[in-house]
C-alpha cells in the first residue's frame, strides 16, 4: 500500500477566491489540501476559516468540506447569520452539486445510491456502509467517459450530508474517486495527485434578503 497519509502541507496563501460576499455571508472557493477549520496541533492551525478571519474579522463556520475536497464553502459573518445558515442546512434547504472523476467506466448514465453510513471506529476518520448506520442518499449522473484513461466524470448530488458520503458511495458503486487516500485502490489513488472531488454549485434562499443565491465554481481538473 502506498504512503497516503503525509504531513499537513497546506497550499500557499496568496489571495482568497471570493465567490459572493455581503454583510451576512462570505462564500469562498476552498483549494484542495486546505483544512476548512483548525485541526489538532499547532501545525494544523492554518485553515480556510483562519485565512478568512484574518481578512474579514468575525467569521463563523456554516458547513465544512473535507481537507482534500475543493470548491464552494459558505461562512457566516455574524452569530445571527450562522444560526440562519445552520437552519437551512439542517432542513436540507441548501442544494449542493459536486463534480468528481472516478475510476472505471460507469455503466449506467444516472442513478442513485441508498446506503447507510456509520463511523468505522477502528479506522477513524473512515466511514463504512452498515445497515445500522444513518440513512445516506446520493444521486449521480455521468458527464462523460474516457476509455483511454478508464475513468468517468460524474455529477454528484448528495441528498443527505454524511461525512465522506460521496467518497464511500462511489467506492460502494465500484468506482472510487481518483486520488482518494481513504477509499481508493492503489491504482485509483495513484492516478491523481489530489482527490478529484469539487463542490461546484450551491443553491439556497438568502436567509436575510430572501433572494435566491446560485453560486457556481467550475473545477480546475
Is the preceding omega at residue 28 within 30 degrees of 0, hence cis? no
Q: Which of 66, 80, 93, 120 is catalytic?
A: 66
Q: Determine the Cα–Cα distance for residues 75 and 48; give it in Å rounded to an integer.
A: 10
Using DSSP's 3-state secondary structure scheme, residue 53 falls into: helix
Tell me which residue of 29, 25, 36, 3 sits closest to 14, measured CA to CA.
29
Answer yes or no: 66 catalytic.
Answer: yes
Give whole-number Cα distances, 183 to 159, 189, 220, in Å.
Answer: 21, 9, 22
Other Cβ atoms closer than 10 A to 59 = 20
Active site residues: 66
Amino acid at each position: 500500500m502506498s504512503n497516503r497519509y503525509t504531513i499537513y502541507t497546506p497550499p500557499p496563501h496568496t489571495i482568497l477566491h471570493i465567490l459572493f460576499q455581503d454583510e451576512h455571508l462570505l462564500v469562498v472557493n476552498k483549494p484542495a489540501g486546505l483544512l476548512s477549520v483548525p485541526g489538532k496541533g499547532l501545525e494544523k492551525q492554518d485553515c480556510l476559516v483562519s485565512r478568512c478571519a484574518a481578512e474579514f474579522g468575525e467569521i463563523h463556520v456554516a458547513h465544512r468540506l473535507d481537507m482534500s475536497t475543493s470548491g464552494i464553502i459558505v461562512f457566516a459573518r455574524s452569530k445571527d447569520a450562522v444560526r440562519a445558515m445552520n437552519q437551512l442546512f439542517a432542513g436540507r434547504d441548501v442544494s449542493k452539486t459536486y463534480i468528481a472523476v472516478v475510476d472505471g467506466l460507469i455503466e449506467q448514465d444516472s442513478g442513485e445510491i441508498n446506503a447507510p453510513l456509520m463511523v468505522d471506529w477502528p479506522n477513524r476518520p473512515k466511514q463504512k456502509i452498515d445497515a445500522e448506520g444513518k440513512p445516506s442518499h446520493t444521486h449521480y449522473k455521468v458527464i462523460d467517459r474516457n476509455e483511454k484513461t478508464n475513468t468517468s466524470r460524474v455529477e454528484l448530488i448528495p441528498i443527505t450530508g454524511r461525512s465522506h458520503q460521496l467518497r464511500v458511495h462511489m467506492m460502494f458503486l465500484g468506482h472510487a474517486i481518483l486520488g482518494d487516500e481513504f477509499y481508493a485502490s492503489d491504482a485509483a489513488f495513484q492516478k491523481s495527485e489530489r482527490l478529484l472531488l469539487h463542490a461546484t454549485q450551491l443553491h439556497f434562499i438568502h436567509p436575510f434578503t430572501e433572494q435566491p443565491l446560485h453560486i457556481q465554481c467550475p473545477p480546475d481538473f
